[in-house]
């Protein structure tokens, strides 16, 4: 994974980023690349400024939350966060982190995923979950949705029934179905007040993009 421009992207944890980012998988997935890590990291740091928590634990969790890459249509998708959490703990053990700190990062990475359906129990875990979900809504979230659909070979939408009024939603077949199937539901589950405020703004953008898309087709 290309790790250039670390100081600009990962301040104030540049040294930590330099140590951790080389351990990430590089599968060529543009929806889970270094730019995604950087956006989630910045979201997490912004929420951390107002919501507290341990900045070092949160930074490590944000940097490693996707350290194991699993495609959206993989049968292992629901296990992706557990695989990443286990690998993150092993990486940090190799760097001499304490058992307590490794466990804190493990929990945050384990519970960040929507697919896993787990409840975060620490402030750092709540912030990471919010930070990652922010990248799934708004303009970037819409772009990632269509990008991922292309990787899976999905169509943009069902021309006969784009709103799925007479068929079940199928976001594996149609990218547009992913908006009501998942993306529109994300803003309801944010754990921190700061994350909730950011989510409301991005959700409004997502709804606008969906409406504009429907208008054009």
Inter-axis angle of helices 99-111 and 123-134, to 10 degrees? Answer: 40
Q: What does the alpha-carbon distance between residue 12 and residue 210 come to, in Å, rounded to a whole number?
A: 36
The domain 136-217 having CATH identifier 1.10.1040.10: the answer here is: no
Those residues with Cβ within 8 angstroms of residue 28's Cβ, 6 or more apart along the chain or in another chain:
none
Whether 40 contacts 62, CB under 8 Å = yes
d(CA 137, CA 140): 7
pTM of this structure: 0.91
Q: From CA 100, how far away is CA 184, in angstroms rounded?
A: 36
Question: Quick one: pLDDT at residue 50?
Answer: 97
Residue 129's CB: how many other CB atoms inside 10 A? 28
Domain spans of the chain, in order of start: 1-123, 136-217
User: Per residue of the chain (217 residues), what is the pLDDT tens digit?
Assistant: 554 445 568 989 999 999 999 988 776 777 778 899 999 999 999 999 999 999 999 999 999 999 887 766 665 666 788 999 999 999 999 999 999 999 999 999 999 987 778 899 999 999 999 999 999 999 999 999 999 999 889 999 999 999 999 999 999 999 999 999 999 999 998 999 999 999 999 999 999 999 999 999 9
């Amino acid at each position: 994974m290309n790790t250039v421009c670390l100081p600009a992207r990962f301040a104030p944890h540049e040294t930590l980023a330099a140590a951790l980012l080389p351990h990430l998988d590089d599968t060529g997935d543009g929806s889970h690349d270094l730019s995604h890590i950087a956006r989630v990291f910045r979201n997490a740091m912004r929420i951390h400024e107002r919501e507290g928590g341990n900045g070092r634990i949160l930074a490590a969790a944000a940097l490693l939350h996707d350290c194991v890459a699993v495609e959206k249509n993989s049968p292992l998708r629901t296990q992706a966060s557990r695989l990443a959490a286990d690998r993150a703990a092993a990486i940090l053990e190799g760097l001499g982190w304490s058992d307590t700190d490794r466990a804190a990062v493990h929990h945050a990475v384990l519970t960040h995923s929507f697919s896993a359906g787990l409840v975060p129990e620490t402030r750092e875990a709540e912030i990471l979950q919010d930070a990652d979900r922010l990248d799934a809504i708004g303009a970037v979230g819409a772009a990632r949705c269509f990008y991922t659909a292309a990787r899976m070979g999905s169509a943009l939408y069902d021309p006969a029934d784009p709103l799925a009024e007479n068929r079940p939603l199928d976001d594996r077949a149609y990218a547009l179905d992913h908006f009501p199937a998942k993306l529109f539901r994300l803003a309801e589950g944010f754990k921190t007040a700061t994350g909730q405020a950011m989510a409301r703004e991005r959700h409004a953008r997502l709804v606008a993009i969906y409406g504009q898309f429907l208008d054009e087709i």
